[in-house]
Amino acid sequence: MTVFIILALVAIITALGMLISRNAVYSALFLVLNFATVAVFYLLLGAPFIAITQVTVYAGAIMVLFLFVIMLLGTDELEDTDNLTWQRPLAIGLAVVLVVEGIYLMLSQNTLGFITTPSEDLGSPQAIGDMLFSKYLLPFEATSILLLVAMVGAIVLTVKNKKGEQS
Amino acid sequence: MNAVPVNYYIILSAILFTIGALGVLIRRNALVIFMSIELMLNAANLALVAFSSANAQLDGQIFVFFIMTVAAAEVAVGLALIVAVFRTKKSIDVDQINVLKG
Amino acid sequence: MNLSETVNTGYFFGLVPLLVFFPIAGMLFNMIFGGKMSEKAIGTVASAASGLTFVVAVLLAYSLSATHGELHQVFLAEWIHIGELQLDWTFRVDTLSVVMMLVVSGVGTLIHIYAIGYMHEDVRFKDDVRRFRRFFVFLNLFIAMMMILVSGDSYLMLFVGWEGVGLCSFLLIGFWYDFNILGQKSTENAEAGKKAFIANRVGDFGFLLAMFTTFWHFGSLQFDAVFESASHHPDPVVISAITLFMLIGVTGKSAQVPLYVWLPDAMAGPTPVSALIHAATMVTAGVYLVVRSAPLYNLVHSTSYIVAMIGAVTALFAATIAVGQYDIKKVLAYSTISQLGFMVAAVGMGAYVAGIFHLATHAFFKALLFLSAGSIILGMERGHHHLAHGHGDHDDADAHHDEEVFDPGDMRNMGNLRKQMPVTFWLYMAGTLALAGIFPFAGFWSKDEILLDAKLHAEHYPGVYWLLAAAAFLTAFYMGRQIWMVFFGKERTEVAKHAQESPPVMTVPLMVLAFLAVFGGALNLPGSHALTHWLEHTIEGVHAGEFDFMVAGVSTVLALIAIGISWLLYGKNPLKAGQIDPLKKPLGFVFTGMENKWFVDEGYGAVIIRPFEKLAKFLSIDLDWNFWHDWFHNEVVYAGFQGLAKFLADPVDMGIINAIADWLAEITKRSSEKLSSLQNGFVRSYALSVLVGVVMILGYLLLK
């Protein structure tokens, strides 16, 4: 329980840090930290494969991609011209209400179950692999196409614009 | 390591999700908004894994796996879009991209 | 068509539809292919169609005599089946209709053949094959319609033919709608056609009323059904109404007083038409109708008497007019009316056989007379043509002038044609003697039978005999007058000296008709009474009359006296060119009346047509234009409508409806202006609104 609370605090603080940081690079780094915390949660929840994937895909690939883009564009900070002044307080107020609603919802009900000591083989790579290639084979293949399309799309978007810029 | 109610995980997930949503709402930097979206996805993943663990069902984790895949694809396309927009607008401030209005 | 039946029974009743379809086929053939055919071919096709019809009629007559004159009905097609009204196209073959078929198709065929020669020579015919074709198309159509008329098994089917022949009559009277009899440009023939059509409409209206009443009272139009219910429940009032209405139709179609006026004008048609339609066949349809409706007329004596009186009066009245006419065809036209009067008087008195007998013989000798008259007119034309060319060499203008005024049909232009046209002379003599009722010609027997009946029934039909006898006397007189004027004496014009005989295509049919005119009396000679026995099968209660030497002697003597008087007046001292009629002096204003047709046309003009025109003018100018159009439409409707429109336009439309629309538009505009600021283009604020929704929905779920 204590571990959970400490980790939860770390996750919330890093998330807020991402939110508050003026510099996009800092935001990215806070987010990496947050993802790492979540990965620890996955381990606690008995999902080692997902935890590892979280670290490699999110913290590794995606965030590196983010940092590359930040550095590529060189706009880690924006000038301070907010033309939606009323948006920020309203958004914060609504967010607080939403969180309160969520907490009230969760605490007002009986517990939905407990996370006890996780069984070793529930989230094991072998079990996930079995399931992916049997029950979820078709969605799995669909994701491969999705990734291919995304790759092609990303390339087309950037290449085309490069051309347009030159001409 | 004693038992933690799933409800707490859900609350944590909700808080993280709200922070992500708040990031979308109050930040103008398109990259940060993107990061916030990633955060929201992660919050959802966390809830899924928590339920999966609580119910001893693997399907939730499979879903998380798929969500990660979609997130990766989304980031690839999204960042490409941001780069493309930056080339024309010389800015990644989403408030600059307000041509579509009444 | 129904050939198998023919083969099975050995009789030819199944062929009866061919009576209609042969002429129709000939007509269609000429209509479709006639454009590329020669005149002779067109005429041959039409004559063949008519001739085949005659053959069918003969076969039917044979079959009928072999089956003892029993009625045969041949169903062809369903026609009208509405509620109580069950009408089919059924052919009725009985002795009466067969007699009519034989007369119509027989005389019709001869006239078809004659017309081939006649139409070619008409001055107005300018080698226009299309016109030639049209003439024969009309003639064939007429035969078909006449066949429908006489073979119909119901009043309505009869009416179809009745109207059909009326249409053909109209078309053929106005055949030369663009030239008058003298070959000049004129529309008088077309007007004559119109007159015939309108006069017939009046009669047809009566016939229609008769049919309506029949159907209303008896619930059927089929002959047998009507007669049967009429005999079971004789209602004198209704039957009188039906028969009187029918009589109006008869006076129209058969040219009786008072609707006869169209027939003399109908002579505007080509002479074969005058012979076929306006002497031999169509005008006898009224007589046929009365004979066909004999069971109805037998039930009401008063109507029969009216019919007989109308016939007798017509006979005498028309005969007096015929005395005063100079046009050869006009004399014959009034003679036709007079003879139709004899027939109508006969059928009115219940002497149906005598009527039909006279109908048949009249068809023979009157067709003969008309066609001979046509031959005379053409002969005069030829002489005129000859002269015009002779003169044309040195005095063109004079010849041209002469051409315009010369009337080939005027008897005052003729004289001594016996020398130039001997064949026609003898043929004409045969017709004349038959018409005058000289023994032993056909007319003697038939007219004598009518007079005999009139004499026998004198107590039931008082006056009829005397009227008819006087008419017979005048008949002989005007025919004698005509003969003396046309064929004897001196030629009164140069043209008459050069008149030429007609070709065989015209004279041969005339010879056949002359034969019939001479020996047609054999149909119903006293002693044999073949026609009476033949018609007995169809018409109830006819019986052969006894030959009465008294009646026959009186009428013969009268006829001879009349011819003698006419010889004294016209033969002994032949009319000189330009001399006025010798009757004019002794008779004075009476002759003037005869000459001018007793001013009946003028009287109708004054009593009916001019008031009618005045009324029409009043209705059109004063009522319709001035009152209805100018006042009511302009003042009331137009102004009222304008006022209403103004009211609707200004206060209602602009003030209320438009204001509402404007107001709605304004509201929409303003609210959209306000609302459009919501779409500010900032993605983040859109997202915020989504969040607002999420929070609210979640809150609602929680608080529920």
- Whole-angstrom CA distances from C361 to C99, C340, C368 are 12, 12, 11
Beta-bridge partners for A115: B4
Question: Of C677, C681, C688, which has the smallest distance from its Cβ to B98's Cβ?
Answer: C681
- Tell whether omega for the bond before C258 is within 30 degrees of 0, i.e. cis: yes
Residue B96 covered by a domain: no
Sign of CA dihedral C318, C320, C321, C322: positive
CATH classification code of A1-76? 1.20.120.1200
In a domain, B95, yes or no: no
DSSP H helices, A109-136, are: 125-132
Chain B CB contacts of C681 under 8 Å are: 97-101
Give yes or no for a contact between A18 and B35, defined as CB atoms under 8 angstroms apart: yes
DSSP state of C489: S
Residue B94 included in any domain: no
B35 touches chain A (CB under 8 A): yes
- A104/C691 Cβ within 8 A: no
Query: Which has the closest alpha carbon to C493: C388, C374, C373, C371?
Result: C388
8 Å CB contact between C173 and C273: yes
> The domain that contains B67 carries what CATH number?
1.10.287.3510
Nearest alpha-carbon partner for C285 in C359, C206, C367, C366: C359
Q: Which residue, B65, B47, B64, is CA-closest to B55?
A: B47
Amino acid at A25: V
Structure tokens at C427: 């043929």
Predicted confidence at residue C146, as pLDDT, reads 94
As a whole number of angstroms, the distance between CA C257 and CA C32 comes to 42
Quick check: A16 and A43 in contact, CB under 8 A?
no
Question: CA–CA separation, B33 vs B39, rounded Å?
Answer: 10
Residue B101 lies in a domain: no
Give the DSSP H or E segment for C530. helix C530-536
**What is the domain extent for residue B58?**
6-89
- Kindly determine whether residue A45 and residue B5, on different chains, have CB atoms separated by under 8 Å: no
Q: What is the CA radius of gyration of chain A?
A: 21
Query: Which residues from chain B sit within 8 angstroms of residue C691, using beta carbons?
Result: 21, 25
In a domain, B80, yes or no: yes
**Local mean pLDDT, 10-residue blocks, chain C (704 residues):** 57 86 92 85 91 92 85 86 84 91 93 88 68 89 94 92 93 84 78 90 92 90 89 87 92 89 88 89 92 89 90 92 89 92 91 90 92 89 78 44 64 84 90 88 88 86 89 91 87 83 87 90 81 82 74 87 88 76 76 79 82 86 80 83 88 87 92 83 83 89 84
Q: Is residue B99 part of a domain?
A: no
* Chains within contact range of chain B (3+ C-beta pairs < 8 Å): A, C
In this prediction, residue A38 has a pLDDT band, given cuts at 50, 70 and 90, of: very high
What ipTM goes with this model? 0.89
Tell me phi and psi for residue C624, to 5 degrees. Answer: -75, -50
pLDDT recorded at residue C210: 93
**Chain C partners within 8 Å of A84 (Cβ):** 682, 684-685
Q: Can you say whether the dihedral through the CA atoms of C339, C345, C347, C350 is positive or negative?
A: negative
In a domain, B79, yes or no: yes
CA distance C549 to C546: 9
Residue carrying structure tokens 């087309």? A156
Count structural domains, chain B: 1
pLDDT tens, residue by residue, A108-152? 877 777 776 666 667 788 888 888 899 999 999 999 999 999 999
Identify how many contiguous H helices and E strands chain A contains and give both numbers.
7, 1
B41 touches chain A (CB under 8 A): no
pLDDT tens for A41-74 read 998 888 888 899 899 988 888 888 888 888 888 7
Say if residues C474 and C561 touch (Cβ distance below 8 Å): no
Chains in contact with A, where contact means 3 or more Cβ–Cβ distances below 8 Å, are B, C
Segments of chain B scoring below 50 in pLDDT: 1
Q: What residues 14-33 of chain B have any CB closer than 8 A to a CB of chain C?
A: 21, 24-26, 28
Chain B residue numbers touching C682 (CB-CB < 8 A): 94-95, 98, 101
Q: Kindly give the residue spans of alpha helices, DSSP state H, lying in C67-187.
A: 95-121, 129-151, 155-173
Chain C CB contacts of A101 below 8 Å: 695, 698-699, 702
Q: How far apart (Å, rounded) are the C-alpha atoms in residues C489 and C568?
A: 12
Q: Which of A87, A97, A104 sits opposite C688 (nearest CB)?
A: A87
Q: Which of residues 2-21 of B touch A (CB under 8 A)?
A: 2-12, 14-16, 18-21
Q: How far apart are CA C187 and CA C200, in angstroms?
A: 20
In a domain, B64, yes or no: yes
Q: Where are the domains of chain A?
A: 1-76, 119-162
**Sign of dihedral through CA atoms C455, C459, C465, C466?**
positive
Q: How many degrees, rounded to 5, is the angle at CA C534 between CA C531 and CA C537?
A: 140
* Spatial distance between the Cα atoms of C415 and C577, rounded to a whole number of angstroms: 9
Alpha-carbon torsion angle C123, C127, C129, C135, nearest 10: 10
